[in-house]
Structure 1
Amino acid sequence: IHDLDIQIAQLQRLTAQLLARREELHDFAHDHCGTISSVRRIPSDIIAEIFLRCVDPDFLGGYCSSSDALRPIMQVCGQWRAVTLGSPRLW
């Protein structure tokens, strides 16, 4: 029984730690929600123009190709992937 009491106490401490971490993440998400929603309101054509400038050969300085530069952009979120794939000027 003593061993079970020790395990229960450990699990209760772990539960308290996880609940505290959950609260931290909730607060972080709440604090940054406005920023995220602002970015999502940028029109696709503006986003495409920004991406076009990011993959400009003069900007890249020959370090990588445009398609290599687009790969991480496309992995940010579904919207950025759709904008990238739907913008022929980027390719």
Structure 2
Amino acid sequence: MLASLATDRARLANLDTDILVLERSLSALRSQRDRVQERLDSYIYPVLTLPNEIIAEIFVHYIPIYPLCPPAQGFDSPTLLTQICRKWRDIALATPALWRAIFLPDPNIPPTEQGALSDAWLSRSRVYPISLQLNTSFVNLEGKLRAEIPTAIVPYRARLEYLVLNQWAMSYVEWIMTEFEDTGDLEELSVRASE
């Protein structure tokens, strides 16, 4: 029994020595990590040093040229710019020219969210004239106009400058023009063949 106690004491001393060595190594690694993190924290990406107005102008050139409508998500969409960093999100949301054209309904957005999407999008355009492109699925399977989209866009009709309908929505032009009586400065109403 005394022999096993002596062995355990020796093993305990070895374990304490191993722990001390590992703690010193860990301390050295933490110190190195802190220095690297400090260098990273001090780095300023050159694009973030540009004035917000210049970044906003670059953003406007990123999306399709007005009156073309960007997609609600993905490449060429202003929503992609809001997902890069906080500064870009703030700049994009504060740049009305990015939000003045919209393609409805967006096939990637659930139908129940289309009205909220169009309202949020168009409210960000502030006082800018707007461009809308309404697609086939603007009409439901029974051939009736979906209410959530028109209800959401009617408050913005006075700023409507361009309205593009596909050929299947053509039968609803009279309804749209009645609902959009006050179309303000409507410059162009066009009908496109379905793709």
TM-score normalized by structure 1? 0.65
Is the contact made by 2:73 and 2:80 (CA closer than 8 Å) also made in structure 1? Answer: no
Alignment correspondent of 1:16: 28
Whole-angstrom CA distance in 2 between matches of 1:43 and 1:66: 26
Cα RMSD for the two superposed structures: 2.6
Letter in 1 for 2:48: V
Whole-angstrom CA distance in 2 between matches of 1:15 and 1:56: 53
Question: The residue matched to 1:65 in structure 2 has which SS?
Answer: coil
Whole-angstrom CA distance in 2 between matches of 1:17 and 1:56: 49
Is the contact made by 1:74 and 1:84 (CA closer than 8 Å) also made in structure 2? Answer: yes
- Any residues of structure 2 matched to 1:1-91 within 5 Å, and which? 1-30=13-42, 32-33=43-44, 35-36=45-46, 39-40=48-49, 42-56=50-64, 65=71, 67-68=73-74, 69-91=77-99
Consecutive unaligned residues in structure 2, runs of 5 or more: 1-12, 100-195
Identity, in percent, stands at 22
Whole-angstrom CA distance in 2 between matches of 1:14 and 1:6: 12
TM-score normalized by structure 2? 0.35
Whole-angstrom CA distance in 2 between matches of 1:21 and 1:48: 36
Which of the pair has the greater relative contact order for Cα pairs under 8 Å at 6+ separation?
1
Question: The residue matched to 2:84 in structure 1 has which SS?
Answer: coil
Kindly tell me: are residues 81 and 16 of structure 1, through their superposed partners in 2, closer, same or farther at Cα, counting changes over 3 Å?
same
Larger Rg: 2
Q: Which has the higher helix share?
A: 1
Consecutive unaligned residues in structure 1, runs of 5 or more: 58-63
